[in-house]
Structure formats: structure tokens, C-alpha cells
Amino acid sequence: MRGLGGALTNPLRSAWRATFGTRRSMSIIVTLTIVAFAVGFASNYWLPQRLGYTLLFGLLLAALWTWSSGQGVRVRMSRSRDRVQAGESIIERFEVINDSAIPKLWLEVEEASDLPGHTAQFVTSLGRSGHRNWRVQTQCDRRGLYNLGPITVRSSDPFDIFHRELRFGHRRGLVVYPRALELPRYSVPPANLPGEGRFRRRTHYVTPNASGIRDYEPGDSVNRIHWKSSLRTGSLKVKTFELDPASHLWVVLDLSGQDHLGTGDDATIETAVTIAASVVRLFINQNRSVGLMMFGERLDVIEPDRGSQHFGRILESLAVAQPIGNVPVASILYQQSRRWGRHTTVIVITPSTDPRWQGAIRTLTQRGVKAAVALIDLDAWGGRAGAAATAVELRAMGVQVNLIRKGDHIPAVMVGQVPGGGRSSAAALAEPAPNGANGAGGAPAAQANLEMEEVLAETDWSSGDSDIEASSEETPVP
């Protein structure tokens, strides 16, 4: 019987909490109304009855007030950009508009977000056909993929008996790229090319090497049209190009969970990602062909390419990189070694001191692959020691090593070292890198200072086409 009574009372208790649990004023008014009617009809006395009718009329008036507070409300929002680098800010502009002739005395506006430090909450009142504007600036200090939205507008009656929520828009993604620092005079051992012209490959960039022709497609530039072939064939033809023979650079980032320490901005993964982004930026600016490889939830491989668009793709992958992998960096180097030959330079970024990946580096160098290592010293984060000894062993094999400790200034530490030698002097660090450094030749640099385009198109939502289901929609980040 006790179990049956509990089964019957639980739904009633849940229904009561759903209706009155967060509305103490409503529960008090409803209770007083019921008591007034009960006493009035039981005693046949007019005062409790009139009190009950007054309270009931007040409930109806409050419900009507709350309903009318949400009628004719529109929200307009614009955001400066959807992609920023850590340390930069985004600016959002909000406008709440009242298209109704009924004033809105109390409106709470809030934008849902999981972006750290983002607060967009306002309380306002609107007159007849009035509007209010706000500007919110949020600094994005931590890389990652975040969601902003939807926007919720709440209204209630003066006695806080009834509530009404309106949701406008849907979730929109915000990508915060990692910091990409300038690395003056950082260099890696240049790879050897077996012969001129053997490693040319197709590219959509204009180069001195025209390899053939193809049919014209919408969007092709006019300066790529080959007019002689077009006249001979009777249809437009455009030239195709190949890249000059050049070595590839591969950045291998260790995302093994057992090798990284720390949380938040002081974690070793943040240092590793910053180093990776900075190295990629340096060589993309030198018009080098750079690829990225890392193993988190899965193997993520971005084939070597050039240009700012390629740099943006790498930054998007680094923005969400987390040390959740269970594959050690040694396994990645052994399994993916078939990708690399004498025309490749591999840059490994890892906090691991496991001798197995040192053996993988030795195997690669014996095959003619050039290698460089950015080694993070876990001892500075309270982890295991041995990074200094590992650096000595690698330098003895002829591998360039940069040892990074907690609190180090990365551009200063990442000055290129001669294998087995010491760091460059501070004077050398201050000198600008000459043209063609690090194997870039005389090719013009493709500026990798990724330009964030302004997204100023306004979004306008009205209460008529908004609903609760809109909050479950998500706009994927391209």
C-alpha cells in the first residue's frame, strides 16, 4: 500500500512542482483564492466570496498582461565576425523592437552562450512602437568552438505570477583560433630533393609552370584563358599549373592524453598548440608547403599545401585539438612514415620522453628525412623529468631540438639551434629574417595573417515565427 500511495503521489507532486514549483507568488494567490471561495460558500458570507472573485479576476488580468507583453516583439542581432584568434574580441549589437501599440514594462533579454566571459543580459522597458539598442564586446581568450544563441526574451506581470518566454534565432558557431606568434629566425633543417621536376603537382595557384589546358569553368580568371587553344577548338580553354619542386614540411602534434598535464590556459596542450600554429604561420608566410598530423579522437591529417586558406583550415583543426588520444606519438611516426621521404622535413611537437618515438626519429633520419623537435619539459608542470636528457640524445643523433619550459617566451625559445650546439644570441634573435630564409627561396610570401572578414549582415526575428524548437537548431561552422 505504501508503494501504491507513493506511485500515486509522485505524479501529482511532479505536476504541482511543474506548475507552481518555481512560481511562489502564483501558488500563494491560487491557495488564497481557493480558501476564500471555500470559506465564503461554507459560511454564506459575502466578504470571502468577493475576495475570491477579486483574486480570480487578478489572475486573469495578470495572465492577459503577460500574454500581451510578448506580442509584437522583434529582436535584431549582428555580430562582427564568426572567426577570431585568441586574444581578439567580438562585437555584438542587439536591438529589441516593439511593433505593438501596447507598452512593454518589463522585458528580460538574454543570449545563451558557452563562450567564457560572455555575458549578454539586459532588462528593459519599451514604449509604444519603441526600440532599445545594446552593444556587447567580448574578449575571446581561449581557443575552441563555441555556440552563441538563441536569444531569449522573458516577460511577466507586475506581481510575477505568470511568465512568458520567447526564443529568437538559433545557435550559431564561433571559432576561436589559437594564438599564432611570430617566430623570428626560426629554421629547420632543409630537406634534400632527389632531382628537379620529379615532385611537381597540380595547383590552383598561378605559377611559372603551365602544365596543360582544360575547359573553362564559371569563376575562372580571364588571365588564365589560353586564347590560341580557345580559337582552335571553338570553346574557351584555361591553363593549368604545377607547383615548383619544393620540400614538404609536416607538423606532427602529440595529442596523447597520458603525455599532457595541466588545465586551462596553463596546460601543456595550450603551449603545444601555440607552437604548432606559430610554426605553420611562419612557413606559410614563406610560401612553403605545410601539412599537419595529429591523433585525438581520430587521426586528423591535413595534406601539405600553401596559402592563407590552407592556414585557416589548419587553425580550425588546432582550435578544437584536445589531449584525448590514446595513440602515442611513436605509433604515429612509425605508421605514417611511408608518407615521408628525402624531400620531407618533419617537426614533432610533444611532451613525451618515451624512447620509442626517439627510435622512430632515428629511423626517419636514416632514410634521409630531416627532423626537428619542439620538446615540452613536463618537469616544469610538476610532471616527470627527463626532457633535458632526451634533448641531449636527440641532438647527438643530429636532430634539431628546442626545449620549452613553463613560462618561457616561445618566440625566444624557438630560435633555431644547430644540432648539438647552443641557442642563437639575443642579437641574432632581434635581426629580421632575410628573404629566402628557411628554404623559401625568392618566392613572395603568402601572408598568413588570416584576415577575418566582417560579418555585419543583420538578423531580424519576430515573435510570430519564433518557437521553442528553434533552440535545438545549430548552424554548422563552414
Which tens digit of pLDDT belongs to each residue from 99-116? 998 899 889 999 999 999
Would you state the pLDDT for residue 478?
31
Closest CA to 311 of 452, 199, 456: 452
| Neighbour tally for 138: CB within 10 Å | 19
Residues 278 and 396 both lie in one domain? yes
Torsion of CA 465, 467, 473, 474, to 10 degrees: 70
Give per-residue pLDDT as tens, 7-65. Answer: 445 665 555 444 444 466 777 878 888 888 888 888 888 888 888 888 888 888 888 88
Burial class (CB within 10 angstroms; exposed 0-12, middle 13-18, buried 19+) of 390: buried
**Residue 239 falls in which region: left (phi positive, over 0), alpha (psi -120 to 50) or beta:** beta
SS3 413: helix
Residues 303 and 226 both lie in one domain? no
Residue type, 431: E
Domain-embedded: residue 195: no
Ordered per-residue pLDDT tens for the chain, 478 residues:
444 444 445 665 555 444 444 466 777 878 888 888 888 888 888 888 888 888 888 888 888 888 888 889 999 999 999 999 999 999 999 999 999 988 998 899 999 999 998 999 999 999 988 999 999 999 999 999 999 989 999 988 887 788 889 999 889 999 999 999 999 888 888 766 543 333 445 555 555 556 678 888 887 888 888 888 888 898 898 887 655 445 789 999 999 998 899 888 889 999 999 999 999 999 999 888 999 999 988 999 999 998 999 999 999 999 999 999 899 999 999 999 988 988 899 999 999 999 999 999 999 999 999 999 999 999 888 888 899 999 999 999 999 999 999 989 999 988 754 343 344 333 333 333 333 333 333 333 334 444 333 333 345 555 433 332 333 333 333 3
Residues 64 and 81 both lie in one domain? no
Cα(138)–Cα(421) distance, integer angstroms? 45
Show Cβ contacts of residue 356 under 8 Å, excluding neighbours closer than 6 positions.
328, 330
| Neighbour tally for 438: CB within 10 Å | 21
Domain-embedded: residue 446: no
Residues 367 and 468 both lie in one domain? no
Domain-embedded: residue 197: no
- Domain span holding position 57: 2-69
Would you state the pLDDT for residue 69?
86
Residues 407 and 278 both lie in one domain? yes
Distance of CA 475 to the CA centre of its chain: 13
Residues 368 and 299 both lie in one domain? yes
- Here the cell at position 350 is 610533444
Domain-embedded: residue 254: yes
Residues 278 and 144 both lie in one domain? no
Would you state the pLDDT for residue 376?
95
Residues 268 and 393 both lie in one domain? yes
- Distances 150 to 81, 82, 322, 375 between C-alpha atoms, Å: 17, 15, 27, 43
- Distances 147 to 128, 172, 462 between C-alpha atoms, Å: 33, 6, 21
Residues 287 and 392 both lie in one domain? yes
- Is the backbone peptide bond immediately before 150 cis, with ω within 30 degrees of 0? yes
Would you state the pLDDT for residue 25?
72
Q: Could you tell me the CATH number of the domain that includes residue 170?
A: 2.60.40.10
Would you state the pLDDT for residue 461?
54
Domain-embedded: residue 137: yes
Overall size of the chain counted in residues: 478
The angle, 0 to 180 degrees and rounded to 10, between the axes of the packed helices 46-69 and 24-43 is 150
Closest CA to 262 of 204, 322, 309: 322
Domain-embedded: residue 194: no
Cα(277)–Cα(347) distance, integer angstroms? 12
Residues 362 and 216 both lie in one domain? no
Q: Can you name the residues that pair with 475 across neighbouring β-strands?
A: 172
Residues 408 and 337 both lie in one domain? yes
Query: How many domains are there within the chain?
Result: 4
Residues 281 and 341 both lie in one domain? yes
Domain-embedded: residue 419: yes
SS3 221: coil
Q: Could you tell me the CATH number of the domain that includes residue 255?
A: 3.40.50.410
SS3 192: coil
Domain-embedded: residue 125: yes
| Assessment of whether the complete model's pTM goes beyond 0.85 | no
Would you state the pLDDT for residue 82?
92
Show Cβ contacts of residue 27 under 8 Å, excluding neighbours closer than 6 positions.
20
Would you state the pLDDT for residue 458?
47
Would you state the pLDDT for residue 459?
52
